[in-house]
Chains A and B, each alone.
Chain A
Amino acid sequence: MKFLKIVQVVVLAAAFLPQVVLASSGAAKPPPQDWGFKGAFGKFDNASIKRGAQVAVEVCMGCHSFKYIQFSSLEQFGFTESEIEALAETQGRTKKEKMISTMDPVSAKESFGLIPPDLSLMTKARKGYEDYVYGILTGYLNENEAALVEKVMEDEEVSSAEALELAPVLHLDAQHPEHIKHVLERIGNGDTFNKYFPGQFFAMPAPLADGAVEYADGTESSLKQLSHDVTAFMAWTAEPTLMERKALGFKVLLYLVIFTIMLYAVKRRIWAKVH
C-alpha cells in the first residue's frame, strides 16, 4: 500500500535525522538504570518508594521541599500513622501538612548561592529524567577517585599519561589536558565536581554516602541503593497518578483496538460492493 510506504519513509527519515548531529552539550550521559515503573506494564515498587521517602525526609528535606506532597499521603506505601507523624515531626510539621523543608530560602541562598529547588517534579524537569537524578546522586567523586585526583595534582601538572587515566573517571576528554587541569584545580579549591551535571560543578555537595540512612526495613543502605530508592520516591512525587494512568490506558487501548478492527471489518464489507 502506497499510503503505508510513505508513512514508513517519513518515520524512518525522522528517526534517522537526529543521529547525524554530534555536537554534545559537554556533560556525560548518565547510564540508564532499570526502573520498574517504566514501560506499559511498569509498576511502582512500594518498598523502594517507602525507603526513598525515608531518605527524602531525613536527608533531602534538610534543604529541599516536596511542596505538592502531603505527609499523610505516604500512608499508601505502608507507613503507619505514627511513623508518618514521626517523619513529619523531624521537619517540625504535622502529617496534614505539605512536605516543606524548614530551611528558609534566604539562608539557603546565603549558604549555597541559590535557593534549593523544590523536588516534587525533579524527575520530569531534567533531560534524562530518573536516570539523570540517579546520575547526579551517584556522580560525585568517590574516595578512590578523589585520591587519584589528589595524587595527580601533587606536582600541579597533568601529564598526558595522567590525563588518559583521569579522563574516563571524570568523563572528560583526554585530548584536552589543560581543561582537565583546570577542572582539577577547581576540585582542589573545594568546588563540588559532578560527572553528570552539565557544567560539571554543582552547587549541592554530595548529599548521600554509604550508610547515610539507617533503613527501617534493614536493607543495606549503599550509595547506589539510597540513590535508587530516593529517585523512585521522586518519580512518584512527580507523577503520583502514573499507575492509575497506565491501568486506565490498558483498558482504553484494548477497547480501541477491538473497536477499530471491527470498524475496519465493517468498512471492508461496505466497500466490497464498490471494489
Chain B
Amino acid sequence: MSKLMEWVDARLPITEMIKSQATEYPTPKNLNYWWNFGSLALFMLIVMIATGLFLAMHYKPDAKHAFDIVEHIMRDVNYGWLLRYLHANGATFFFIIIYVHILRGMYYGSYRAPREILWWIGVIIFFMMMGTGFLGYVLPWGQMSYWGAAVITNLITAVPVVGDELVVWVWGGFSVGDATLNRFYVLHFLLPLVIFALVIVHMWALHAVHSNNPTGIDIVDEEKDTLPFHPYFTIKDLYGMGVLLIIYCWFVFYAPNAFLEPDNYIPANPMQTPPHIVPEWYFLPFYAILRSIDFLGSFSKLAGVIAMVGAICVLFVLPFLDRSPVRSFRYRPLSKSLFWIFVANCIMLGWIGYNPADATAFDGALPLIILGRTGTAIYFGYFAMLFVVTAFNIEKPLPLPKSL
C-alpha cells in the first residue's frame, strides 16, 4: 500500500496535500460554533446536487407535464417523495445556513484584509444561489412558480431602452411559458455546478489566508494558537452536521410542506392571478426592499430593482466601508449594536415582504409600506453608519487580547 502511495505521490502529491490542507491544516483553536456553518453549507450543497441529480432523472421541463411529473415523482417513483422533500426543504436549510454564515462573517470582520477576495467569492456564490433557488422554484410549475417567475422576470422590463426586448429574450416568447420553463431547467442544472466550482475557489482563498477567529486578531504563535484540523475540527463539524440533520430531517419527515405555499399545489394557470404572490422566504427581505421604493413615479420600478440588487452588491464594498483598526465586533461596542439592529431589521423586512403590499399593522394605524421604507433605510444605513463610526474614529474599540 505504502509503495503504491509513494508511486502516486511522486506524480501527484496527494498525501502531502491531505496533510497540509486537511488533517494537519492549522486552525485557530478558539473557533466557536458559528464557524460550523461553512462546512454545513458545503454539506447542504452536496445534498442538493445529489438529490437534484436523481430528481432530474425523472423530471420533464414541459409546461404541459411538469406539474404532473412532480406528482409522479411524489407518488410513483421509489422514494421520490423523499428526494423531492429533501430537495425542497434542503433549499430552505441551505439558505438558513448561508445567512448565518454571512452574518458570522459580518460580525467577526471576516471580510477585512486580507480576506477581501475570499469574501467577494462568497458574495458571488450567494448571488448565484439566489438565482438557482429562484429557477428551481419555477420547475414544479404551480401557481406560485408561474406567478413568481412572472413577477421577477417582469423586473427586467425596468432596464432602460432595451428592457422590453430583453424580457422577451429571457422568456423565449411573449410571456412566461414552455420555453421559459425549459431554459430555467437547463440553468437550474448548470448553476449549482458553477457554484460548486466557486466553492472550491472559495476554499482555495480560505486556505491561502487562513480562517479568521472570534477575536479577529492574527495568529501570533502557530504552535500555541492553532490545532490541527483533524481530529479537532473534523469531529466538531461532524457533530454540527448531526444537529443540522436532526432539524432538517424533522421537517422533511414531519412537516415537509411547512415552507411551501399551498398555492404551489395548484397547477400553473396563466389566466388566473393568485390573490397574493409571495416569493420563497429567503427572498422576502429583498422583495420588501424592492417594493418599498414606490414613491418615484415612473422611476419606481427601476429604482426598486436597483435597490434590491444594491442590497446584495453593497456587500462587495463592505471591506472598504469598515475602517476600524479592529476586525471583530466583540471589541467594537458601537458596531455590535449596529449589527444587531441590522439583523433585527432583516427579519422585519422579511415579515414585511411576506405580507401584501397594502397591509397594515396595529389595527390599520401603521401601513407596512412605511415600515418597509424605514427598514430599507436602516438596511443601507447600517453600511453608512459602519463607515461613519469607523472612519471618523467615533467608535473606541475595547483593548484586544495579546493572543488567542
Contacts and interface: CB of A to CB of B under 8 A. Distances in A.
A253 B348 contact: no
Contacts of B275: 25, 198
B253 A245 contact: yes
Nearest to A6: B34
B114 interface: no
Contact of A260 (B246, B252, B263): B246
Contact of B242 (A117, A121, A263): A263
B351 A248 contact: no
A239 to B, nearest CB: 8
Nearest to A114: B272
Contacts of B262: 124-127, 129
Nearest to A1: B33
A264 interface: yes
Nearest to B29: A274
Given A249-B249, A253-B246, A253-B250, A21 B359 contact: yes
Contact of B254 (A68, A246, A271): A246
B236 to A, nearest CB: 6
Interface string B314-354: 00000000000000000000000000000110011001001
Nearest to A14: B347
B364 interface: yes
Nearest to B253: A249
A161 interface: no
Contacts of B75: 68, 240-241
A270 interface: yes
A22 B361 contact: yes
A253 B249 contact: yes
Interface string B230-250: 011001101100110110011
A274 B232 contact: yes
B361 A257 contact: no
Chain A interface secondary structure, helix, strand, loop or mixed?
helix
A13 interface: yes
A169 interface: no
A10 B249 contact: no
A86 interface: no
Contact of B253 (A3, A121, A124, A246): A246
Nearest to A120: B71
A252 interface: yes
B211 interface: no
B239 A267 contact: yes
Contacts of A252: 249, 253
Contacts of A270: 231-232, 235
A40 interface: yes
Count class of interface residues, chain B? 35 or more
A10 B347 CA distance: 9
B347 A248 contact: no
A3 B33 contact: yes
A260 B239 CA distance: 6
Given A3-B34, A23-B360, A125-B263, A241 B81 contact: yes
Given A3-B32, A10-B347, A23-B364, A259 B242 contact: yes
B257 interface: yes
A21 B354 CA distance: 11
Interface string A1-29: 01100000010011001101111010000
Contact of B265 (A124, A241, A259): A124
B361 A267 contact: no
B392 interface: no
B348 to A, nearest CB: 7
B74 interface: yes
Nearest to A261: B242
A266 interface: yes
A245 B242 contact: no
Interface in A149-188: none
9 contacts: A22-B360, A121-B266, A124-B262, A245-B81, A245-B253, A248-B82, A253-B250, A260-B239, A260-B243
Q: Which 5 A-B pairs have the closest CB atoms?
A: A249-B253, A260-B242, A125-B265, A263-B239, A121-B265
Interface of B: 29, 32-34, 68, 71, 74-75, 81-82, 85, 227, 231-232, 235-236, 238-239, 242-243, 245-246, 249-250, 252-254, 256-257, 262-263, 265-266, 275, 343-344, 347-348, 351, 354-356, 359-364, 368
Given A2-B32, A260-B245, A267-B236, 8 more contacts: A10-B343, A21-B368, A22-B360, A23-B360, A25-B275, A121-B265, A249-B253, A263-B242
